[in-house]
Amino acid sequence: MTLLQFAMAIFFILIFSFNFIPIPSQSQAVEFTYTGFSDQKSNISLNGVALIDENGILQLTNESSRFKGHAFFPTPLQLKNSTTGAAFSFSSCFAFSIHPEYPKLGGHGMAFTISPSKELNSSLPSQYLGLMNSSDVGNSSNHIFAVEFDTVQDFEFGDINDNHVGIDINSMVSNASATAAYFGDDSVKNDLNLKGGEPILAWVDYDSITNLFNVTISPASVKPQIPLLSMQVDLSPVLLDNMYVGFSASTGLLASSHYVLGWSFSINGEAKSLDLGSLPSLPAPKKKPISLIVSLSVVGSVVLLLASIAIAIFLYKKIKNAEVIESWELEIGPHRYKYQELKRATRGFKDSELLGSGGFGRVYKGTLRHPKTEVAVKRISHESKQGVREFVSEISSIGRLRHRNLAQLLGWCRCGGDLLLVYEYMPNGSLDKWLFDEPKYVLSWNQRFKIIKGVASGLLYLHEGYEQIVLHRDVKASNVLLDYEMNGKLGDFGLAKLYDHGSNPSTTRVVGTLGYLAPELSRTGKATTSSDVFAFGALLLEVVCGRRPIESRSNPEDLVLLDYVWNKWKEGRILDVVDPKMKGHFDESEVLMVLKLGLMCSGNEPSGRPSMRQILSYMEHEIEMPEIVKVPGVGGDDIEGGFENYLYSYASSSFDKTMSSIGGMSSGNVDKSSTSMVTSMSTSPFLHVHSLREAR
């Protein structure tokens, strides 16, 4: 070997060695591609209902309601420079398809996900997409980054519609979102239906140098030049050094099958493009049988006669027990249950399953089999055939309300003269049982304060957070339900009413419960957000005092709780009203604040009462409680006594007038104990929702 050859050999050895020396704190070359999943089951981690079908397609969810599914690359990937803490660039391409149980009705959605965990055990289905739960939404400690493909509009999280793509950072409230669409070669934007059942290619690309994150989708294999979403974001604070990469999906009241056909991913490089033509074919949509045609071949007149009789009996029973589904019902949500399913769940509506009864029906505890879920089933007698369509339409409106402090309506059923409503089950029952009966233990002040703050949050959502204003019209302790963690949820929307923001409610029918009725209702009959606030004020007082708004067994001067509290306030002995069962264990400043709020909410003039937003701000200590409250119409600016004179204007005489006014109504509206009042309703005995035309 010549000297030149030896030198060249040494040079190449040095170059070769340099290229393969591991450099600490740099990303290892990570790149993988799945063109189907049949041969790589061991290389994908599945959780929940996720599975790989016989065609090699990753199916995250099926048509079962309220389930979640996860699929992640089995090992965590290093996504940050361990020395500088800066996030690496990454790129991913994947093909997905969403098949809803019912055309045009999504349920719920899926997301490309980067997470510290591949199990996400504490996550919930429905609007949380299997990523988070109600208590950790918005926490920076989540370290979750996701691109959601959402097919249900959730008002709680500010979704723009039911067909959108969003970028989520530690929250279900998207940092950026857009209606699903793609740009063609001519730069023209074309709409794309996420729940159309066709394969869609998605590209997600993060450039750590420019801190630019792009999301692009297309129904074809060619990547459009213009992304659908482009967002400036530094992912370094969001990502941990090692994270799991994969997908999450969930179903809600309605369900969809969420599929992933192929997937590629790369760190510090561009992910390999996928060709839709080379990926596994989607399964054919399942056809649901509408009728079964039975052909009988009968030999002989006797056999024919017997068969005809048997068929006649069978058809008679079938028609008698049939649930007639009209075409308009298929367009209405939420979920419609089968009557037999609810009958089995409640063990035939046995008295042993009875949770309670009221003016509009009886409530039973039930257990659904698939999936196994505890529910509360309200059975309503509705013999009149008029207004059934309107009744179900109203259920649809209320069923779209979603808030952690509202009891969720899960679905409904109509069979003959029976109307059934299915709610989430509240294991700890209603608040009044804990305040006035003999509970397992006495509610602490912290529990009480947490409950009323939750109800305030729910009422604020009804008044301001929904697309229409929702008046509950029956806020009271028996309508506050408690879940496993003693969170307060406002339930029973039997008297609820919707109308457009900016318009006035048109009803003049007085409904509600004595002790919670605002004084102006006896004059105008028109419920407003202020009348809900009045009822909430009564609730605040009874939670602190452990007494009902009207105590028939009390002394005449203490009959009305509001008068009782006010008298103690005047005497400077306001803490005497606190529920003695708490034995003095409470936060005095919080108790005084809640009592003062209860009195402020109980003023005669609606304009003088605080809004639910103000009330919640007081409770969260975002704003200070006023020392002097002056209300137009009750002394105006000439009030010298300020807050006290204003409150004193509500005397027992006001209650007497209200009682006499209501007493003039039909006797059927007030029960024998004179503590609750229910009025018949024009369209249904359970729900009263005005149409937009009526609201105007």
Q: Which residues have a catalytic role annotated? A: 474
Q: How many whole angstroms separate alpha carbon 77 and alpha carbon 94?
A: 18
Find out whether 247 and 113 touch, Cβ atoms under 8 Å. yes
Q: How many whole angstroms separate alpha carbon 202 and alpha carbon 93?
A: 6
The answer to whether 378 is annotated as binding is yes
Supply the DSSP symbol for 87.
Answer: B
Q: How many whole angstroms separate alpha carbon 229 and alpha carbon 160?
A: 14
Supply the DSSP symbol for 146.
Answer: E
Radius of gyration (Cα) for the chain, nearest Å?
Answer: 31
What long-range pairs does 436-441 form, CB within 8 A, spacing at least 24?
436/477, 436/546, 436/548
| Strands 68-72 and 497-499, sheet pairing | unpaired
* 600: its two tokens: 């402020």
> Which residues share a beta bridge with 99?
257
How many other β-carbons are positioned within 10 Å of the β-carbon of residue 371?
10
Element housing 314 (H / E): helix 301-321
| Strands 335-336 and 409-415, sheet pairing | parallel
Q: What's the one-letter identity of residue 121?
A: N
Place of tokens 């074309």: 190
Find out whether 690 and 505 touch, Cβ atoms under 8 Å. yes
Element housing 11 (H / E): helix 3-19
Q: How many whole angstroms separate alpha carbon 249 and alpha carbon 48?
A: 10
Q: How many whole angstroms separate alpha carbon 381 and alpha carbon 419?
A: 7
How many other β-carbons are positioned within 10 Å of the β-carbon of residue 603?
26
Find out whether 516 and 534 touch, Cβ atoms under 8 Å. yes
Find out whether 145 and 238 touch, Cβ atoms under 8 Å. yes
Q: How many whole angstroms separate alpha carbon 667 and alpha carbon 514?
A: 14
Find out whether 249 and 110 touch, Cβ atoms under 8 Å. yes
Longest Cα–Cα distance of the chain, Å, equals: 120
Q: How many whole angstroms separate alpha carbon 627 and alpha carbon 634?
A: 17
How many Å from the N-terminal Cα to the C-terminal Cα in the chain? Answer: 99
Q: How many whole angstroms separate alpha carbon 174 and alpha carbon 404?
A: 18
Q: What Cα–Cα distance (Å) separates residue 638 from each residue in 292, 461, 632, 649?
A: 79, 35, 10, 14
Q: How many whole angstroms separate alpha carbon 33 and alpha carbon 115?
A: 20
Find out whether 177 and 166 touch, Cβ atoms under 8 Å. yes
Coil vs helix vs strand at 665: coil
> Which residues share a beta bridge with 509?
none
- 661's CB contacts (< 8 A; 6+ apart) are 522, 523
- Binding-site residues for ATP, in ranges, read 378
* Residue positions forming the annotated binding site: 378
